[in-house]
Structure 1
Amino acid sequence: MFAFFLSSGLFLGWSLGANDASNVFGTAVGAKMIRFRTAAIYCSIFIILGAVISGAGASHTLGKLGAVNALGGAFIVAFSAALSVYLMTLARFPVSTSQSIVGAIIGWNFFSGALTDVNSLTKIVSTWILCPVLSALIAILFYKIIVFVISSFRIHMFRLDRYTRNGLLLAGIFGSYSLGANNIANVMGVFIHVSPLSDISFFGLFNLSATQQLFCLGGVAIAVGVLTYSKRVMATVGSGIMDLSPVAALVAVWSHSIVLFLFSSQSLETFLRSHGLPAIPLVPVSSSQAIVGAVLGMGLLRGGKSINWRIVGGISSGWVITPVIAALLSFVSLFFMQNVFMQKTFKPVPYQITEQAAHKIDKAGFSSNELKTLMGKKFESAVKMKKALSAHISLTPKILNIVLSASEINKMEITMDKINSIDSNWISDEQIRALEKFYGQKFMHQWQFAEALEYNSSFWQFHESDIKFNENLNRKFLYLYNLFEK
């Protein structure tokens, strides 16, 4: 069943490969500097590597936008996003898979009664503006530098041609890796919370997490899309917006690749924060917007006369239409999936201000006394609880998020048979012994269980500066939530 539902994610991956490979090698192929077959092979290999090695960073923000909690819902969300991208690919427009998956998730939020996280949505939408602008600025800077170097050193035409070809190939490889790292969250992000996969170890040499396994499958699907259906969109990006010289094509790909890397690099984020600098948000940005921004940047540098504004207008309208189409497809398809095909598309998550929740709200700095009229009342969804809260008291978005997070009900019961089913190759003996101390206990909230475990065992505590350890520990907590769920 999981394999069947995962097929929509693989379809989305195929659509991404068919559409977004043009952003990596389209300018090089359009400028006739690299053959399509060569571009497709390199692109496929490094997309998979980027997805598996560095794909986790951008997936967290997308997960906060809306946590799809049922396999049927994840299937529809991915399918709706894939279909919207495929329709735009047929029209030969390089659209954004980031926008399509965001639209599909918002459609699921409306259908299930879940709240759309405004902070995450704002962060993602802001990158839709920042991404092409940043790419254009980088392209203008690079183009000026390269033109200066060529004119200053008087590089021979044949030598320049060889340098440009090699540069385009390296830029495409880097861009493919960055594309896999940044956009795999769009393809497989909605399946992370509902995946039955668990971490596996290969003879103790290295581990492959459940998320990395998903990302590997998604990377392969993207690669198939590149190999089978990306050639037609490459023509639009490579020569449709404006005619590109080989040097301009090189600048466009490098600028695009750098932007994608900036928005997916956890190492860069850690470095900036450790030096007191503002970190670049880890968000799955639009590869299409990055490459179009770079091409437009160079076009504007030349005065803008060489730009085909009709094509640009069509591409821009596609960026606006795509999330709307994906949201509508998602909402309507979820209705049919649940009411016609009788498949569960979401798990209802009730909300209640319990005594434990009230205590947590107080610890966060907001007095729960102002919520006394709602104490003990149960609400079917986050939307209904938000309406009840708004009718009684005015809350800032930050306080509202604190109240909702504390009040979310996820009943858990720690039983010995489930403890014994845990894979000791992944979860250590010390961590399992800490779990055994809670045998027979019941919890109303996931955070309540997590806090109790952290308080009683150092093996379940997060490390402030160890990002990889914390990611692994988060996966373990998610596994335990699903394991002990009543």
Structure 2
Amino acid sequence: MNFEILVILTAGILTALVAGNNLSAAVGTLVGSRIVSRFTGTSIGALGFFLGLILQGESLQGSAAGILPDNNVFITEAFLIAAIVFGIAAFTRTPLSLIMALVGASAGISLKVGFHENAGLLHLIILTWVLAPVLSVMAAFYLNRLMVRENFKDIWKTASFIKILLIVVSFATAFTLGANTMGFIGSIAGFSIYVILSMSIGILVGSFLLSRGVLKRIGQEMYLMRYSNALVSLLVSSVLVEGATFIGLPLSNTMTLTSSVFGTGLSYKFKALNIAPFLTVVMMWVISPLIGFTLGYLI
């Protein structure tokens, strides 16, 4: 069996799953509030994914090499485990991070085959996963409180300016996801021209064919947020993920964005906040890599 071909194909499949499931997080506010049409919003997201992958994706090569052997059999196994786990989670509407499942699967496979992975790197990744939500909540909390306290004189002009900023940060969110999550997939797969082509097709398929229902549902939910809330949440999330990409560490956009949304909610003194959904997501952040690790080690 030609595992090199399987690596190329599974890299494209994973990319399609990521694009389809995460497009709504990047451009859901734009589409839900009708700042742009669904097609335009999808195009903005897809372009961001592609440019992030091409321009910064190779920044994750150090992390990829440190936690998984450069062997097409093991890479295929890690990709398939991540795809299956993520697919089941998406079907059951369980919030689960693909990149965390992929890191877990890679670590499990490495331990099974005796690969002397970089333990320090794994510890740094885990530390990043612990600190990122805390930083997201704190930054979103204080930044949103500053915006709420600001007395804008021309409300209509301010709203128009925020809409423009929303387009920018939505693109930035898609860009950072392409650079980090998709970049990590590409780094594991090897970033050959065939891998890039497969992942580019995956971006198009995921964005335009797999995201429709999720984009509509999440877009409507995010429309219920104030423009300022959405702006702060997307800005904080994209800055943190870009920072992780800059130092070459995989970080889930879902983690930072969910935490940022929670932080903006906490910033209102007289607003009741249901923390149960957030705690469920936090629990899945722990379970995702553990499931990937267990399957990677046992299969």
TM-score category by the smaller chain? Answer: 0.7 to 0.9
CA distance in 2, matches of 1:308, 1:37: 33
Give the aligned partner of residue 70 of structure 2: 69
Give the aligned partner of residue 287 of structure 1: 253
Q: Which has the higher helix share?
A: 2
After TM superposition, the structure 1 stretch with the greater mean CA deviation from structure 2, 312-321 or 293-302, is 312-321
What does 1:82-481 align with in structure 2 at a 5 Å threshold? 82-149=83-150, 151=151, 153-157=152-156, 159-192=157-190, 210-211=191-192, 214-215=195-196, 217-234=198-215, 243-265=224-246, 281-303=247-269, 305-333=271-299
Contact 1:13–1:222 (8 Å) recurs in 2: yes
Q: RCO greater where, 1 or 2, for CA within 8 Å and sep 6 or more?
A: 2
SS of structure 1 residue aligned to 2:24: helix
Give the aligned partner of residue 23 of structure 1: 25
Contact 1:124–1:283 (8 Å) recurs in 2: yes
Change (3 A) 1:325 1:236: farther
SS of structure 1 residue aligned to 2:245: coil
Q: CA deviation at 1:70?
A: 2.2
User: How many residues are matched?
Assistant: 297
CA distance in 2, matches of 1:143, 1:302: 9
- Structure 1 alignment gaps of length 5 or more: 193-209, 266-280, 334-486
Change (3 A) 1:75 1:34: same
SS of structure 2 residue aligned to 1:58: helix
CA distance in 2, matches of 1:285, 1:167: 24
- Structure 2 alignment gaps of length 5 or more: none
SS of structure 2 residue aligned to 1:115: coil
Change (3 A) 1:327 1:235: farther
Q: CA deviation at 1:29?
A: 3.8
- Residues 110-160 of structure 1 show CA distances to partners (whole Å, capped at 9, x for unaligned) of 3312234220111111111222222223323432343344x1x31233x33
- Residues 354-381 of structure 1 show CA distances to partners (whole Å, capped at 9, x for unaligned) of xxxxxxxxxxxxxxxxxxxxxxxxxxxx
2:143 counterpart letter in structure 1: F
SS of structure 1 residue aligned to 2:58: coil
Q: CA deviation at 1:233?
A: 4.1
Give the aligned partner of residue 60 of structure 2: 58
Change (3 A) 1:49 1:244: same
- Residues 2-48 of structure 1 show CA distances to partners (whole Å, capped at 9, x for unaligned) of 22332112111111112222331234444554443322111101211
CA distance in 2, matches of 1:79, 1:44: 23
CA distance in 2, matches of 1:91, 1:174: 29
Change (3 A) 1:219 1:261: farther
Q: CA deviation at 1:259?
A: 1.2
Contact 1:95–1:322 (8 Å) recurs in 2: yes
- Residues 264-316 of structure 1 show CA distances to partners (whole Å, capped at 9, x for unaligned) of 13xxxxxxxxxxxxxxx320111001101110111111148443323213222
SS of structure 2 residue aligned to 1:217: helix
Q: CA deviation at 1:241?
A: 8.9
Change (3 A) 1:29 1:94: farther
CA distance in 1, matches of 2:270, 2:257: 16
Contact 1:107–1:327 (8 Å) recurs in 2: yes
2:65 counterpart letter in structure 1: G
- Residues 173-193 of structure 1 show CA distances to partners (whole Å, capped at 9, x for unaligned) of 11111111111233222222x
CA distance in 2, matches of 1:247, 1:92: 28
What percentage of aligned pairs have identical amino acids?
21
CA distance in 1, matches of 2:113, 2:65: 16
Change (3 A) 1:155 1:223: farther
Q: CA deviation at 1:248?
A: 0.9
Change (3 A) 1:320 1:39: same
Contact 1:28–1:249 (8 Å) recurs in 2: no
SS of structure 1 residue aligned to 2:52: helix
2:64 counterpart letter in structure 1: L
CA radius of gyration, larger in: 1
CA distance in 2, matches of 1:244, 1:306: 14
Contact 2:49–2:179 (8 Å) recurs in 1: yes
Contact 2:26–2:170 (8 Å) recurs in 1: yes
1:316 counterpart letter in structure 2: V
**TM-score under structure 2 normalisation?**
0.88
Change (3 A) 1:31 1:313: farther
Contact 1:256–1:287 (8 Å) recurs in 2: yes
Change (3 A) 1:51 1:213: farther
Contact 2:45–2:170 (8 Å) recurs in 1: yes
1:163 counterpart letter in structure 2: F
- Residues 394-421 of structure 1 show CA distances to partners (whole Å, capped at 9, x for unaligned) of xxxxxxxxxxxxxxxxxxxxxxxxxxxx
2:283 counterpart letter in structure 1: S
- Residues 203-245 of structure 1 show CA distances to partners (whole Å, capped at 9, x for unaligned) of xxxxxxx557634532441342122223444467556699411
CA distance in 2, matches of 1:292, 1:87: 21
